[in-house]
């Protein structure tokens, strides 16, 4: 029996959601080209497509919105955000951006160029896309265990220092403008990096004059895992551990739509004053003036308040426990899930669930479509479709992990909703033999194809043999 403590919040405002019939959902998924991303949200009952920007804001965040200073230049709300970032993440220079990828775009433009190389712990789609757009080649230097869905390694987000060393020797430190590490690693299933490993990565990189930038979108969840799992950190607060994670790094690019408990926004935090000036100059062209970066003043207020709430121990314990509860229910029912459960998501091993669907017919995408039809629950593929094509060869990448990701929005769903999700996934798993066909592209966009791709069942009319 999995324990589940009462959520540390109560509901002050409600948003109606509705269940639909299976016949309605079959029509909807066909109209969406079998891609749950192209569904109308109204046709989804429980939406676990992403935890990004789907957070419920607190009463304090809503009241903070009213304090938003919408001055074009030098708004008070900018200084409130700057102060929150300095206090909780420790970076002296703060540049607001409209969301995480805005920060990735401008930092990549500042640092990268043709012929450069960027090592990282696995990859994030938008991060790698901007690195490649600026001519760099991305290299995955994560530990091997990250690619193994059943490995119980407590820090599957750790960098393999030997792989990093080997890359530095192979291409030379001069060709590596930065190391790009994430905490937690989304594509591995929300897996954390340890403080010890991140510190060692920074020492190694700095010894070669290479700066390290942290993707800190989910660094609070990462800090929670450090507190639970890394020897020596159990007595420290999540706020202290967050500082320890950021301390050895040279900067961070952050989407405030994740741990920041906001619906939109982001920021870049930096230590080097010259680099901060260059980033501000780029921000001016692509985001907005350096004191708003594409956000309204009220957004910056909501993020500042969200940052303070994110490190509250009650909040983060409850948040991760809800994800763990979903994972435990699936695991106890025999559904193959990535272990250990991540901070923001549970990932179903689609290749293990649908071994009869060839990898070329995208078992993860197929399972995502099937879950929607059966239960009205929306997840997202994290496998071959998301991995895209190698920009040089044009070949499909075939990642080791072929997953269906169920990402849980923060403070949005109750245990009953989570039970409905679990029941639906278990039903799909029990009836997996009825899924007789995978999917092939009918429209394949050139970049970040998973968002807008359309598919058709490879074996005829439907992915279900009988429906
Ligand atoms: C969401 C996310 C991004 C991109 O941020 P957006 O706000 O969606 O643009 C980058 N890295 C990670 C790890 C993320 O989860």
> What is the mean pLDDT for each group of 10 consecutive residues in the chain (467 residues)?
83 96 98 97 98 98 98 98 98 98 98 98 92 96 96 97 98 98 94 98 98 98 98 98 98 98 98 98 97 98 98 97 98 97 97 96 97 98 92 89 96 97 98 97 90 93 83
Maximum C-alpha span of the chain? 63
Question: Is the beta carbon of 184 within 6 A of some atom in ligand 1?
Answer: no
Residue 460 has a pLDDT of: 86
Residue of 125, 157, 218, 258 best suited for mutating to test ligand 1, as the one with most atoms within 8 Å of CB: 258
Residue of 96, 101, 220 best suited for mutating to test ligand 1, as the one with most atoms within 8 Å of CB: 101
Residue 467 has a pLDDT of: 46
* Helix or strand run (H / E) with residue 193: none
Question: Is the beta carbon of 217 within 6 A of some atom in ligand 1?
Answer: yes
Cβ pair 461, 445 in contact under 8 A: no
Residue 4 has a pLDDT of: 83
Question: Is the beta carbon of 182 within 6 A of some atom in ligand 1?
Answer: yes
101 C-alpha to ligand 1 centroid (Å): 6
Question: Is the beta carbon of 255 within 6 A of some atom in ligand 1?
Answer: yes
73 C-alpha to ligand 1 centroid (Å): 26
159 C-alpha to ligand 1 centroid (Å): 20
Residue of 187, 215, 218 best suited for mutating to test ligand 1, as the one with most atoms within 8 Å of CB: 215
DSSP structural state of residue 183? S
Alpha-carbon span 188 to 208, nearest angstrom? 28
Alpha helices in 90-194 (DSSP H): 100-111, 125-133, 161-171
List the residue whose alpha carbon is closest to atom 4 of ligand 1.
Answer: 100
Residue 216 has a pLDDT of: 98
Residue 92 phi/psi, 5° resolution?
-70, -35
List the residue whose alpha carbon is closest to atom 3 of ligand 1.
Answer: 100
Alpha-carbon span 430 to 422, nearest angstrom? 12
Question: Is the beta carbon of 190 within 6 A of some atom in ligand 1?
Answer: no
Alpha-carbon span 412 to 343, nearest angstrom? 15
Among 459, 304, 280, residue whose Cα is nearest residue 366: 459
| pTM, full prediction | 0.95
Cβ pair 241, 86 in contact under 8 A: no
Cβ pair 233, 241 in contact under 8 A: yes
Question: Is the beta carbon of 124 within 6 A of some atom in ligand 1?
Answer: yes
Strand order in the sheet with 403-407: 345-349, 403-407, 380-382
Residue 2 has a pLDDT of: 62
Question: Is the beta carbon of 179 within 6 A of some atom in ligand 1?
Answer: no
Residue 466 has a pLDDT of: 61
Among 417, 433, 309, residue whose Cα is nearest residue 4: 417
Residues 6+ apart with CB under 8 A from 298: 64, 65, 66, 67, 68, 70, 77
Residue of 102, 186, 306 best suited for mutating to test ligand 1, as the one with most atoms within 8 Å of CB: 186
103 C-alpha to ligand 1 centroid (Å): 10
451 C-alpha to ligand 1 centroid (Å): 14
Q: What structural domains and CATH numbers belong to the chain? A: 22-51+313-457 (3.90.1150.10), 59-310 (3.40.640.10)
Nearest atom in ligand 1 to the alpha carbon of residue 99 is: 7
DSSP structural state of residue 340? S
Alpha-carbon span 252 to 259, nearest angstrom? 14
Residue 418 has a pLDDT of: 98
Report strand pairing: 380-382 vs 93-97: unpaired
């Amino acid at each position: 029996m999995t324990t589940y403590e009462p959520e540390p919040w109560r509901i002050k405002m409600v948003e109606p959601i509705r269940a639909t019939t299976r016949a309605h959902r079959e029509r909807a998924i066909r109209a969406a080209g079998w891609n749950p991303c192209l569904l109308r949200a109204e046709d989804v009952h429980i939406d676990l497509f992403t935890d990004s920007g789907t957070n419920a804001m607190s009463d304090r965040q809503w009241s903070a919105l009213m304090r938003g200073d919408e001055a074009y230049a030098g708004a008070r709300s900018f200084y409130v955000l700057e102060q929150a970032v300095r206090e909780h993440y420790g970076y002296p220079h703060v540049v607001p951006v409209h969301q995480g990828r805005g920060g990735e775009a401008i930092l990549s433009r500042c640092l990268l160029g043709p012929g450069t190389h960027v090592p990282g712990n696995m990859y994030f789609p938008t991060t790698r896309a901007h690195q490649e757009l600026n001519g760099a080649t991305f290299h995955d230097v994560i530990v091997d265990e990250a690619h193994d869905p059943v490995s119980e390694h407590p820090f599957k987000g750790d960098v393999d220092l030997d792989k990093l060393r080997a890359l530095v020797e192979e291409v030379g430190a001069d060709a590596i403008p930065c190391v790009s590490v994430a905490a937690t690693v989304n594509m591995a299933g929300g897996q954390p990096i340890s403080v010890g490993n991140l510190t060692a990565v920074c020492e190694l990189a700095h010894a070669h004059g290479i700066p390290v930038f942290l993707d800190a979108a989910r660094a609070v969840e990462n800090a929670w895992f450090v507190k639970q799992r890394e020897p020596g950190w159990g007595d420290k607060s999540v706020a202290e551990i967050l500082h320890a994670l950021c301390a050895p790094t040279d900067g961070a690019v952050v989407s405030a739509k994740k741990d920041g408990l906001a619906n939109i926004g982001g920021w870049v935090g930096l230590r080097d004053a010259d680099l901060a000036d260059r980033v501000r100059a780029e921000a001016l062209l692509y985001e907005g003036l350096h004191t708003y970066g594409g956000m309204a003043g009220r957004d910056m207020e909501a993020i500042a308040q969200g940052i303070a709430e994110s490190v509250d121990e009650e909040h983060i314990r409850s948040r991760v426990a809800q994800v763990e509860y979903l994972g435990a229910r699936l695991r106890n029912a025999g559904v193959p899930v990535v272990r250990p459960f991540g901070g923001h998501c549970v990932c179903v091993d689609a290749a293990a669930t649908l071994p009869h669907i060839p990898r070329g017919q995208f078992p993860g995408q197929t399972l995502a479509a099937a879950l929607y039809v059966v239960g009205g629950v929306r997840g997202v593929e994290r496998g071959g479709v998301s991995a895209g094509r190698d920009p040089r060869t044009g070949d499909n990448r075939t990642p080791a992990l072929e997953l269906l990701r169920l990402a849980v929005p923060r403070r949005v769903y109750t245990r009953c909703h989570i039970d409905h999700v679990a029941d639906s996934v278990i039903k799909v798993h029990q009836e997996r033999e009825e899924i007789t066909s995978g999917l092939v592209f009918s429209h394949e966009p050139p970049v970040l194809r998973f968002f807008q791709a359309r598919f058709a069942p490879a074996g005829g009319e439907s992915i279900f043999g009988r429906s």
